[in-house]
Amino acid sequence: MKYLSDDAVARLRQIVDAPDLSGTRYRIVEKIGRGGMGAVYKAEDTVLNRMIALKVLDEENDEANIMAALEHLGIVPVHDAGRLPDGRIFYAMKLVDGAPFNELRAPLADRLRVFQKICEAVAFAHSRGVVHGDLKPENIMVGAFGEALVLDWGVAALARRGSIAGTRGFVAPEQAAGTAMDARSDIFSLGAILRDVLTAEPARPSLTSICAKAMAVEPRDRYASALEMTAEIARYLAGEPVQAHRETLSERAGRLFVRHYMWILLIAAYLVMRTLLLLFLHR
Amino acid sequence: MRFPSTRRSAVLASQSSDPAERRQAFESLVDAYWKPVYKFVRIKWLCDPDDAADYTQGFFARAIEKDFFRSYDPSRGSFRTFLRTCLEGFIANEKKAATRWKRGGGATILSLDFATAEGELREHPPAPDASPEESFHREWIRSLFALALDDLRELSEALGKQSDFEIFSRYDLDEPTSYAALAQEFAIPVTTVTNRLAWARREFRRLLLDRLHSVDGRESELL
């Protein structure tokens, strides 16, 4: 048995890792990244003359079928799937030109609106009986026009076979413990994503309470659906009280001021003018 | 000649009622792990070469005697980590009881080339910043790749495709060269170089995964 140097092992590793696309319509441009379930490449579709994202799976799973069944604006569309000459399963999907959600630099309100879109895509998947299982900012791509696309449904595929994973910091406790996993596990992860959005922002008790409710240890204490969660965000953005938070008097006054500040300013201006007028007339 | 085909999981095969299948399963594990085990013992416990060889022999002998690997549960982690944990337990017990296999006293059940492993360790010492566990992982990967390379050589010879292996070895293992240079050297068209390289790479990948799956490894462990 020949001794293989570290360099030789590294070269052979690359050979083993690189997908064999001979005889297919795709040509690799570069490797974009690697998830738990496989590697993703930027590739050229030589038939349609466009760039796509090609995912090559480490193991056979239903990921492509799951994504293909989820036709939604917030879920990456699958174009093609099959087996490569080297035996590996691949699927081709839309190449999203954007940045991960955690790299989005925008005002809080804009990021919350993107977050609502994420919730809507997740709610749609739940309505089709699919739990994502690995929601985290890196798995959400945001396009130049604020469109949000949820990626990487590999854990959902594994969950169907009873094998569950997730990412530390975002995975629900029951999922991490391997005891159970359902739509409420995704709600927990959405709460963790929202928590990240709020990091480095001034404290906002209403949003903090939404996070806390979504990330409750007991699944029954969380929001019952992702749509309920997006409705809470909508209330916050509209300056209405959120159900997860009992306001103090000063918080309520502050919220009402922010919500109606134009009217309040107009009335105040009117009162000041009127007072000045009265003073002038009685001089 | 051992002709590599799809190998069974060694852990499953070790529970087979067929003694030949059990033996082959054990051999698969030893092939992939004896060098990493030997080097790990040398590095982690700073054993001298003879003691490390005795511990390595003793570990595999005890593993087959006590059926260590039957208790492996894939849901709790990789087989590689499980085996290393078994090894650490074995060494700890041996040291504690001070009843380790006496040099030359323990039955030598395996024909292992410890002198070569020792030479490799001398010529290619582990990186100073690598922990013994990281070195164990690297050595395990090195062993798997080297075994798959041997399998590819055997397969190429059996199929009369020695030049395919030669081209693969020259292009992917030796100093960088070009398709054109290889075409000239082997007196074949460049397209034939491309096709032969593609065949060898595809087979190498298949044989490597065969080896990996035979020791209950996962592809993610190769990264």
Residue among A1, A86, A87 whose CB faces B147 most closely = A1
For an interface test with A, give the residue of B31, B34, B141, B145 to mutate (most A CBs within 10 A).
B145
Query: How many angstroms separate the Cα of A265 from the Cα of each of A56, A231, A260, B89?
Result: 59, 29, 9, 75
The reply to whether B201 touches chain A by the CB within 8 Å rule is: yes
Q: Where are the domains of chain A?
A: 6-94, 98-237, 256-283
Q: Is residue B196 predicted with pLDDT exceeding 90?
A: yes
> Which positions in chain A touch B222 (Cβ < 8 Å)?
13, 16
> Which positions in chain B touch A17 (Cβ < 8 Å)?
223
Quickly list H helices, chain A. Answer: 6-17, 63-69, 108-127, 154-160, 173-176, 183-198, 205-214, 226-237, 249-281
Please identify every residue of A annotated as catalytic.
134
Residue among A9, A20, A58 whose CB faces B145 most closely = A9
| B98 band by pLDDT with thresholds 50, 70 and 90 | low
pLDDT at B11: 74
pLDDT at B3: 38
Mean per-residue pLDDT for B198-222?
87
Mean per-residue pLDDT for B38-64?
90
pLDDT at B104: 45
DSSP string covering B34-86, please?
HHHHHHHHHHHS---HHHHHHHHHHHHHHHHHHTGGGG--GGGS-HHHHHHHH
Q: Is residue B19 predicted with pLDDT exceeding 60?
A: yes
The reply to whether B5 touches chain A by the CB within 8 Å rule is: no
Which CATH class, in words, describes the domain spanning A6-94?
alpha beta
The reply to whether A263 touches chain B by the CB within 8 Å rule is: no
Q: Is residue B56 predicted with pLDDT exceeding 60?
A: yes
CB B222 to CB A16 under 8 A?
A: yes
Residue among B75, B146, B220 whose CB faces A4 most closely = B146
pLDDT at A184: 93
| B2 band by pLDDT with thresholds 50, 70 and 90 | very low
Cα torsion A111, A148, A65, B214: sign: negative
Please tell me the distance from the alpha carbon of residue A131 to that of residue A219, in angstroms, as a whole number: 14
Mean per-residue pLDDT for B124-142?
91
CB A1 to CB B219 under 8 A?
A: no
Q: Is residue B4 predicted with pLDDT exceeding 60?
A: no
In the sheet that holds A38-45, the strands lie side by side as: A26-34, A38-45, A50-57, A89-94, A78-83
pLDDT by residue (tens digit) across A201-258? 888 888 999 999 999 999 999 999 999 999 999 999 988 888 887 877 777 777 777 7
Judge contact between A86 and A23, C-beta under 8 A.
no
> Which positions in chain B touch A87 (Cβ < 8 Å)?
206
Q: Is residue B5 predicted with pLDDT exceeding 50?
A: no
CB B222 to CB A13 under 8 A?
A: yes
CB A15 to CB B145 under 8 A?
A: no
Please tell me the distance from the alpha carbon of residue B14 to that of residue B37, in angstroms, as a whole number: 19
For an interface test with B, give the residue of A7, A12, A22 to mutate (most B CBs within 10 A).
A12
| B88 band by pLDDT with thresholds 50, 70 and 90 | very high
Local mean pLDDT, 10-residue blocks, chain A (283 residues): 86 87 90 81 95 87 84 91 86 90 90 95 93 90 89 72 70 83 92 91 87 94 94 91 80 77 87 90 80
Backbone angles phi, psi at B13, to 5 degrees: -65, -30
The reply to whether A161 touches chain B by the CB within 8 Å rule is: no
The reply to whether B218 touches chain A by the CB within 8 Å rule is: yes
pLDDT at B41: 94
Q: Where are the domains of chain B?
A: 10-222
The reply to whether B125 touches chain A by the CB within 8 Å rule is: no
A15: nearest CA partner in chain B: B201
Judge contact between B38 and B58, C-beta under 8 A.
no
Confirm or reject CATH 3.10.20.740 for domain A98-237, answering yes or no: no
Mean per-residue pLDDT for B90-106?
67
Please tell me the distance from the alpha carbon of residue A185 to that of residue A171, in angstroms, as a whole number: 7
